[in-house]
Amino acid sequence: MSVPLLDVRNLRKVYPGPRRGELVAVDDVSFAVQPRTCLAIVGESGSGKSTCARIIAGLERATAGTVAVDGDAWHTGRPGTRERRRRARIVQMVFQDPYQSLDRRQTVGGCLEESLRLHFDLTGDERSARVAALLDLVGLTADHARARPRLLSGGQRQRVAIARALASEPRLLILDEAVAALDVSIQAQILNLLADAREQTGVALLFISHDLGVVRQIADEVAVMHHGAIVEHGPAATVLDAPRDPYTRRLLDSVPRPGWRPTLRPA
Ligand SMILES: Nc1ncnc2c1ncn2[C@@H]1O[C@H](COP(=O)(O)OP(=O)(O)OP(=O)(O)O)[C@@H](O)[C@H]1O
């Protein structure tokens, strides 16, 4: 088997807990992401998904364990500026709320240009052409390039956040609940655009979500997290259609299916 793009081994994160105790947020987690594939990490709120993502992206220190990219071991402490920039060429992250991460005073075009300036030595014309190509990739136009985030819808803002993340031509995009705040029809559009981006750029996806319906639409492989540990990991069709672990089954049972009706209990 070829060297994975991302290889996470025995990751552990312990936070100080209540009353001088410890809170084990991530407990001996291992997984790999192959180039050009999508691994989804699913689980309920508090299961440790975001903590794993933040450690891989260098936003959080690991207590123990290793993260290797292309076989190159990454120090799991907090990286310095130069190392952060080097890693940003390889791994980018998109969060749930793009409004928080976009500069409200900056136009969409300005935001993409800034990212390109940070990572590449391009002429003005080359940069403009790259901005146009990125906008096109995420289904936005030159009109959007002149707009500021407050004039955009939630879905459009998330498109901008994805374009900005793709500007550095990363090998891996980590999406942490990136479609959770969007309407179902907008979610579907964003998932389609991620599939197109994957096809066109070859970027691999680490897709973090509590929503198994969404995961079914995008993932090749699924890892299920519960209380900080991975309880099941395999091809998406196997995990979602023939789960072996009781927790995965419970998680799947709680997803509304077509024709599902809420049970009304008397008050
Ligand atoms: N900075 C922190 N300090 C202390 N505890 C933390 C911190 N960040 C996360 N935790 C705790 O670690 C556990 C895992 O949190 P994490 O955010 O990774 O879970 P999650 O599965 O991503 O859930 P969510 O989707 O709600 O963020 C939770 O119990 C959380 O309260």
Instruction: Enter the pTM of the model.
Output: 0.92
CB 34 within 8 A of CB 2: yes
**49 Cβ below 6 A of ligand 1:** yes
Q: How far is the CA of 15 from the centre of ligand 1 (A)?
A: 9
Of all protein residues, the one whose alpha carbon is nearest to atom 3 of ligand 1 is 15
**How far apart are the C-alpha atoms of 172 and 180, rounded to whole Å?**
20
pLDDT by residue for the chain (267 residues), tens only, comes to 678 999 999 999 999 988 888 999 999 999 999 999 999 999 999 999 999 999 999 889 999 999 999 989 988 777 788 888 888 999 999 999 877 778 889 999 999 999 999 999 999 999 999 999 999 999 999 999 999 999 999 999 999 999 999 999 999 999 999 999 899 999 999 999 999 999 999 999 999 999 999 999 999 999 999 999 999 999 999 999 999 999 999 999 887 665 555 555 554
Task: Output the pLDDT for position 97.
Answer: 84
Provide the 3-class DSSP secondary structure of residue 55: helix
Q: How far is the CA of 39 from the centre of ligand 1 (A)?
A: 20
**How far apart are the C-alpha atoms of 87 and 56, rounded to whole Å?**
10
CB 184 within 8 A of CB 217: no
Task: Output the pLDDT for position 199.
Answer: 92
Atom of ligand 1 nearest to the CA of 228: 14
**How far apart are the C-alpha atoms of 81 and 25, rounded to whole Å?**
27
Task: Output the pLDDT for position 30.
Answer: 98
**47 Cβ below 6 A of ligand 1:** yes
Q: Which amino acid is at 97?
A: D
Using alpha carbons, select from 69, 99, 3 the residue that is nearest to residue 206: 69
Residue indicated by tokens 């060297």: 3
Of all protein residues, the one whose alpha carbon is nearest to atom 6 of ligand 1 is 15
**25 Cβ below 6 A of ligand 1:** yes
Q: How far is the CA of 51 from the centre of ligand 1 (A)?
A: 6
What is the separation, in whole angstroms, between the first and last Cα of the chain?
Answer: 58
**What are the residue ranges of helices labelled H in the chain?**
49-56, 81-88, 98-101, 108-119, 124-137, 142-145, 154-166, 184-201, 212-218, 236-241, 246-253
48's tokens: 């440790």
Domains of the chain: 1-90+171-255 (3.40.50.300), 101-169 (no CATH)
CB 169 within 8 A of CB 89: yes
Q: How far is the CA of 60 from the centre of ligand 1 (A)?
A: 12
Atom of ligand 1 nearest to the CA of 51: 18
Look up the ipTM and state it: 0.96
Task: Output the pLDDT for position 256.
Answer: 64
**β-strand 172-176 against 22-33: which pairing, if any?**
unpaired
Please list, residue by residue across 181-197, b when 16 or more beta carbons sit within 10 angstroms of its beta carbon and e when fewer do.
bbeeebbebbbebbeeb
